[in-house]
Structure 1
Amino acid sequence: MTHSAIGRPLAAAAPGARAAGRKRRLTPARIGIYAFLISAALFFLLPLYVMLTTSLKPMDEIRLGSIFALPSNPTFEPWRQAWSEVCTGASCEGVRAGFWNSVAITVPATILPILLGAINGYALSFWKPRGANLLFGILLAGAFIPVQVMIYPLVRLLAGIGIFGSLPAIVLVHLVFGMPVMTLLFRNYYASLPHELFQAARIDGGGFWRIFAYVMLPMSVPIIVVAAIMQVTGVWNDYILGLVFAGRDNLPMTVQLNNVINTTTGVRLYNVNMAATILTALVPLALYFFSGRWFVRGIAAGAVKG
């Protein structure tokens, strides 16, 4: 091999090496992006840091006024009190009851809207019944109506059929308000799938439900994860609907947290309040932490077509 033959690959590789070197340099634009991202992260993490450190401090240390200081004598006693002893109104059973109430509300209020939204999106994407676009537009219009406007009519309706103030009532309300967004998500996702799959299943003799169960649902895992994250977060963090429709026996965790924070009898226990707040937010935080990458994949998969 001649010297010129050896030199040509080296010369060809040199521009790529120089390009990689330029990409690794800290340009003013790159420095600005990093500064913005770090500032945004600190802005959102600082309240969580204050809440966490305060929840681990005894009250004597909190009264010193150093909210940003790390706890010198960490204790988990406020967490235990928040879970099982803190008073929420006349009851002093902690936020434990509200936690299980939120679970009982969130599970059916997540599964049912996702299932019905998947069926609606599948029908609107592949079967396209007469007036499908009009029905879809009417359904989406419901997503833009403020919740507060619908509260009174829903109260009268649910009271008229005898389920107001019960678990089925709050689940039904979340089902109604979650349906437009769930349908939109699944319709856009199914519109991005090859139509030839549906045509092949039809040629093989598949009907509406058979194609949905054996072809569409197994391919819907990414968007199901996205829909589950959105619905669980919305239902778990809801306050106004749970306060109005759940009834006294099914009050969610957010309502009980409000009762804990606004209790004014005796000494205000800031460490217990912070622990109760973190316990209330723990499920959505854990959900995003463990499934965030699936959320991004599902959103990208359903954003190809509209």
Structure 2
Amino acid sequence: MNQPHPNGPKPARITAGRIGLYTFLVAAALFFLLPLYTMVVTSLKSMDEIRLGQIFALPATLDFSAWVTAWSGACMGTVCVGIRSGFWNSVAITVPAVAISVFIGAVNGYALSLWRPRGANALFGLLMAGGLIPYQIFLYPMVRAMANIGLYNSLAGIIIVHVIFGLPLVTLLFRNYFVSVPEELCKAARVDGAGFWRIFFEIMLPIAVPMVVVVSMLQFTGIWNDFLLGLVFAGRDNLPMTVQLNNIVNTTMGERTYNVNMAATILTAILPLAIYFLSGRWFVRGIAAGAVKG
């Protein structure tokens, strides 16, 4: 019988604490995955099978007709075009809003990291406190302002609203990241003749790539999952996917089609989930880098 090499890795000891930890992790994973499992299996069942009430049972046959209906045939009131148009509306809203807010927030964070007069931290804290105020307080003034400049119920209007509400958090994250960058880098660049923008694009922004990933993912998820601002500011022709999902779920003709509702819900959430699954390690690296620098 082969004996383990004395200098080799020691086998992990099975202790009560380790068993308890893994038991908790498995239970937590099952707790969070159970609703997703229920949604998926329900979306693949026919209505006759759903009426049997066996909510956790696997479908007898895989039926993707509910997914097709949810994408291109589900009814929102009297209009039965599915959630497809809402998907492209959400893309048209989210992509430019994320890009603009991340860029402006990075510039703001860079500028504020250089601005250090007496009382600057207190003033910065007051500015960031505005990001903690609930959206509902700003709705009426924002509606009036957007209506006065002709951007209410428009694609440009909802993009601007998301940029405005996202800037406090984005600026805070970038400022905390940039403030710990050694000043010698900027001083050396200034000696070589670099100005504000050249330092930002050639030095600060490449350094902040991990934070750009984190902020982009946070902004993308927040804007994509938004319901309130999209409902108020987007207008009927630009309703995002979340608003159209609500309209589909609350539209009933004859019977409530749970399989279609579940499929539409998964379609609405699948893009943010895919981004987190595919970019999760970059998100963790960015958070860790920001924590170390901050």
Q: Which residue of 2 is the match for residue 91 of structure 1?
A: 79
Aligned pair partner of 2:28 in 37, 40, 44: 40
2:229 maps to 241
- CA–CA distance in structure 1, aligned partners of residues 218 and 123 of structure 2: 23
Name which of 134, 138, 158 aligns with 2:126: 138
The equivalent position to 1:261 in structure 2, one of 231, 249, 261, is 249
TM-score, scaled relative to structure 2 = 0.94
Counterpart check, 1:303 vs 2:288: no
Alpha-carbon contact 1:190-1:302 (below 8 Å) kept: no
The match for 1:108 is: 96
* Greater alpha carbon shift after TM alignment, 136-145 vs 223-232: 136-145
Matched, 1:165 2:159: no
Partner in structure 2 of residue 117 of structure 1: 105
Cα RMSD (Å): 1.7
Aligned length: 290
- Partner residue, 1:56: 44
Q: Which has the higher helix share?
A: 1
For 1:209, the aligned partner's letter is W
Is residue 70 from structure 1 mapped to residue 58 from structure 2 by the alignment? yes
Distance across 1 between alignment mates of 2:87 and 2:45: 24
In the alignment, the residues of structure 2 paired with residue 151 and residue 208 of structure 1 have an alpha-carbon distance, to the nearest angstrom, of 36
CA-CA distance at 1:127 after TM superposition: 4.8
* Equivalent in the alignment of 1:178: 166
Quick one: which amino acid aligns to residue 274 of structure 1? M
Query: In structure 1, the residue corresponding to 2:76 is in which secondary structure?
Result: coil
Structure 1 counterpart SS, 2:245: helix
CA displacement, residues 2-38 of structure 1 (integer Å, 9 cap, x when unaligned): xxxxxxxx9xx57x86xx34xx122111112111111
SS in 2 for 1:32: helix
1:199-278 matches, cutoff 5 A: 199-278=187-266
Q: How far does residue 195 in structure 1 lie from its aligned partner after superposition?
A: 2.6
Q: Which amino acid aligns with 2:278?
A: F
Is the Cα contact below 8 Å between 1:192 and 1:304 reproduced in 2? no
The CA deviation at 1:128 is 4.0
Is the contact between residue 165 and residue 248 of structure 1 (CA under 8 Å) also seen in structure 2? yes
Q: Unpaired segments of 5 or more residues in structure 1?
A: 1-9
CA distance in 1, matches of 2:160, 2:46: 43
- In structure 2, the CA distance between the partners of 1:268 and 1:66, relative to structure 1 (3 Å rule), is same
Q: How many percent identity over aligned positions? A: 65
Higher Cα radius of gyration: 1
3-state SS in 2 of match to 1:302: helix
Deviation sequence 1:216-261 (CA, Å, 0-9, x none)? 1122211111011000000000001100111111100000000011
2:13 to 10, 22, 25: 25
Which residue of 2 is the match for residue 5 of structure 1?
Answer: none
Q: Is the 8 A contact 1:188 1:303 kept in 2?
A: no
Secondary structure of 1:264's partner? coil
The residue identity in structure 2 corresponding to 1:126 is L
What corresponds to 1:155 in structure 2? 143
Any unmatched runs of 5+ in structure 2?
none
SS for the counterpart of 2:58 is: coil
For each residue in 1:137-180, what CA deviation from the matched residue of structure 2 results, as whole angstroms up to 9, or x when unmatched? Answer: 23211111011111111111111222111111111111111001
The question of whether the paired residues in 2 share the 8 Å contact of 1:261 and 1:273 is answered with yes
In the alignment, residue 31 of structure 2 is paired with which amino acid? F
Larger deviation: 141-150 or 46-55? Answer: 141-150
C-alpha separation in 1, matches of 2:292 and 2:103:
22
